[in-house]
Amino acid sequence: MIPLPIALLALFYAVVATMSGLSVWKDATGISQQSIVWPLAWLALSVSAVYGLALLRSWGRTVAIIGFIALAVVTLSFAALLVAGRQAGAALVTTFTAGLYILGIRYLQRPSIKVYFGNSELGIRSSE
């Protein structure tokens, strides 16, 4: 059985995948004239994280951590733009959001959580 916090992380990545898929759809149908590269990259990363976390695979945990790092970098970049635009309150809230991504990384790196994902060198899960 999948633990509730890991299921919630998978649900978070499912929301990111849905938003990325919507952006890809808009680009493919011609509604939006932006580049399709970034939405496709986010879609691939988030769908991989959803399946990897839901199936408790070690590569899924790694993909989720990479996704959280990317989200933190993008969020902190947006916060820097808000600071440059003299919107300190919005920048502070955005920075706290990036802190939540860091908490997700810390959670996935806990030894008690790594047990759920098994030992990648042996190709087996410890919970079996």
Residue 13 and residue 90: Cα distance in Å, rounded?
24
Average pLDDT over residues 113-126: 65
Whether 128 has a pLDDT exceeding 80, the answer reads no
Task: Please give the DSSP secondary-structure letter assigned to residue 124.
Answer: B
Domain ranges of the chain: 4-117
Q: 84: which 2 tokens?
A: 């440059």
CA distance 53 to 36: 26
3-state helix, strand, coil in the chain (%, to 5): 75, 0, 20
Return the ∠ at Cα 24 (arms to 93 and 83), rounded to 5°: 25
pLDDT (tens digit per residue) in 23-52 = 999 988 888 888 889 999 999 999 999 999
Supply the DSSP symbol for 119. B
